[in-house]
């Protein structure tokens, strides 16, 4: 196996035994980038020189007897909406094309304290709005399994680069599915933690009550290791949960005997591909064979989740994105003659179509006279969804569903039809509305060799059950295919 395809824990073993150095790992990853990046466009910016010099420092630490921590000397990609000090953070938008943060996001500080290596800033849908990574000012990302297809979104870059060996793991953000759906379409593992478990300080806000940072990795073990590093209380984020965080690696046990798994009927909706459905049923069968108790459940309010999300997310976005006014951040139209004209032109030229669409929907939903009918109503239905999930978790330890109704679709196929595009997240969005943890793991390949993902959802702060189930099923599934690139 090529070095760039090894998992972080395999590499850690080799680093400990001095069978490999961080510089070798980093060089291997950048060689791979040289071979495939032109086809994939996973990155907005690469940090080759810094990465190589960091790797040298890490090697010195290791030779001088320092113990090898998780992710130490391991090349990691970071989605370009997570602030990195002195390194551009564009959100794949023209408006932030030249924005250089003066501080690190809290998750970056934590990765740094573990001596990780930053490969570069990964491509994404502009401001994390999208399901196909076609909404990037820096061009679309292509799926490593078939470069005529999308990698999913909005963390298309992080998922594609991990799948293709351009990074060992990555950080993404998930507001309605943006970690899990691209992970599913690219055949990797993507985890959205409980809302508030990972600090959002330094994550450029899209919809603050839904956004959450999480790992994209090649396997569940790496996922648990990254969670250990990035989870935990942060006083810089007022929504951060102040609780003792367990060692997530302690849940890596292949045992789901007597685990109660619910299959929400509403997430096995019409419009799920036949092959996806069959794959999910084969995973359910595996779970039963391992002694889990599987039962169907109905969660009626889930049918409103998509509508609720497309009121709440754009509303919060319209408010969050008001700060990009040509004065405080980013792009400014310098020919404008009046202040109003400067605002108008800077925003008109700085934002792409999807972002403008969301700002318009959100501003409309929040405006006097419509607020009660849309935003407030949506919040009420959101509470129903939260309560329904609570009831479901009285009976079940985890819920299981497809991650995405389809495998990767063709580039261009849905871009002119926003409503069809919005359906891509029908299985993932309810999870964000209720703040739950959920993971997508690869379930296998379709007939035309495209990855299919299965989603495992847990109750608030029950990452333990999610990891246990994911780890056990990952073992049973035994997915080890790689894209041919
Ligand atoms: N695809 C969804 C959207 O466009 C979710 C995006 C996300 O999770 N950031 O809003």
pLDDT tens sequence across 12-48: 999 999 999 999 999 999 999 999 999 999 999 999 9
pLDDT tens sequence across 216-272: 999 999 999 999 999 999 999 999 999 999 999 999 999 999 999 999 999 997 789
Q: In whole angstroms, give the CA distance from residue 338 to residue 334.
A: 10
| Nearest protein CA to atom 4 of ligand 1, as residue | 130
Residue 203's beta-bridge partner residues? Answer: 82
Backbone angles phi, psi at 402, to 5 degrees: -65, 155
Hey, what are 116's tokens?
Answer: 């990780």
Q: Return the DSSP state at 204.
A: P
Which of 154, 301, 404, 440 is catalytic? The answer is 154
Ligand 1 binding pocket mutation candidate from 122, 123, 130, 212 (most atoms within 8 A of CB): 130
Residue 254 vs residues 222, 292, 454, 467, 479: alpha-carbon distances, Å? 15, 12, 17, 10, 15
pLDDT tens sequence across 401-410: 999 999 999 9
Q: In whole angstroms, give the CA distance from residue 483 to residue 151.
A: 12
The Å distance, Cα 43 to ligand 1 centre, comes to 19
Residue 87's beta-bridge partner residues? Answer: 84
Ligand 1 binding pocket mutation candidate from 125, 185, 436 (most atoms within 8 A of CB): 125
pLDDT tens sequence across 158-201: 999 999 999 999 999 999 999 999 999 999 999 999 999 999 99
Predicted model pTM: 0.98
Cβ atoms of 94 and 54 closer than 8 Å: no
> What's the average model confidence in pLDDT over 445-450?
97
Give me the pLDDT at residue 420, please: 87
pLDDT tens sequence across 315-355: 999 999 999 999 988 899 999 999 999 999 999 999 999 99
Hey, what are 219's tokens?
Answer: 């396997």
> What's the average model confidence in pLDDT over 395-399?
98
Strands 75-79 and 117-122: parallel
The Å distance, Cα 9 to ligand 1 centre, comes to 30
Hey, what are 242's tokens?
Answer: 């102040």
Secondary structure in 3-state letters for 54-86? HHHHHHHHHHCCCCCCCCCCCEEEEECCECECC
Give me the pLDDT at residue 269, please: 76
| Nearest protein CA to atom 10 of ligand 1, as residue | 129
Mean pLDDT computed over every residue of the chain = 97
């Amino acid at each position: 196996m090529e070095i760039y395809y090894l998992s972080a824990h395999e590499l850690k073993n080799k680093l400990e035994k001095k069978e490999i150095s961080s510089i070798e790992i980093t060089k291997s990853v950048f060689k791979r980038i040289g071979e495939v990046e032109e086809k994939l466009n996973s990155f907005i910016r690469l940090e080759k020189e810094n990465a190589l010099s960091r790797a040298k420092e890490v090697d010195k630490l290791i030779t001088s007897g320092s113990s090898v921590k998780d992710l130490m000397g391991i090349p990691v990609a970071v989605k370009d909406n997570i602030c990195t000090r002195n390194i551009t953070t564009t959100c794949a938008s023209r408006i932030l094309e030249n924005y250089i943060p003066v501080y690190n996001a809290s998750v970056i500080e934590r990765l740094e304290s573990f001596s990780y290596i930053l490969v570069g800033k990964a491509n994404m849908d502009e401001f994390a709005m999208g399901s196909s990574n076609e909404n990037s000012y820096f061009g679309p990302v292509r799926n490593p399994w078939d470069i005529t297809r999308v990698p999913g979104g909005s963390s298309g870059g992080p998922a594609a680069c991990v799948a293709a060996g351009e990074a060992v793991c990555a950080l993404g953000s998930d507001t309605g599915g943006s970690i899990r759906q691209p992970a599913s379409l690219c055949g990797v593992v993507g985890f959205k933690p409980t809302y508030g478990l990972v600090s959002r300080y330094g994550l450029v806000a899209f919809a603050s009550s839904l956004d959450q940072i999480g790992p994209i990795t090649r396997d569940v073990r790496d996922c648990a290791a990254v969670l250990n590093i990035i989870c935990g209380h942060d006083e810089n984020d007022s929504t951060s949960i102040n609780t003792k965080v367990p060692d997530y690696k302690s849940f890596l046990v292949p045992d789901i005997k007597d685990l109660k798994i619910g299959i929400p009927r509403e997430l096995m909706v019409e419009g799920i591909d036949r092959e996806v459905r069959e794959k999910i049923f084969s995973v359910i069968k595996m779970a039963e064979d391992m002694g889990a108790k599987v039962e169907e459940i109905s969660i009626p309010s889930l049918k409103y989740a998509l509508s609720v999300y497309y009121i709440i997310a754009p509303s919060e976005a319209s408010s969050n994105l008001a700060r990009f006014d040509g004065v405080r951040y980013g792009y400014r139209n310098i020919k404008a003659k009046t202040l109003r004209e400067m605002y108008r032109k800077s925003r008109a030229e700085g934002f792409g179509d999807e972002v403008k669409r969301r700002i318009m929907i959100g501003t409309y939903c929040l405006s006097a006279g419509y607020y009660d009918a849309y935003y407030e109503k949506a919040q009420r239905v959101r509470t129903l969804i939260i309560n329904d999930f609570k009831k479901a978790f009285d009976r079940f330890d985890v819920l299981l569903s497809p991650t995405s109704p389809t495998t990767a679709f063709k580039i261009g196929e849905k871009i002119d039809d926003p409503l069809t595009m919005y359906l891509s997240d029908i299985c993932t969005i309810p999870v964000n509305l209720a703040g739950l943890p959920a993971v997508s793991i690869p379930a296998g390949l379709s007939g035309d060799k495209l990855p299919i993902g299965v989603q495992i959802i847990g109750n608030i702060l029950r990452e333990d059950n999610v990891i246990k189930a994911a780890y056990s099923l990952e073992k049973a599934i035994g997915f080890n295919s790689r894209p041919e690139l």
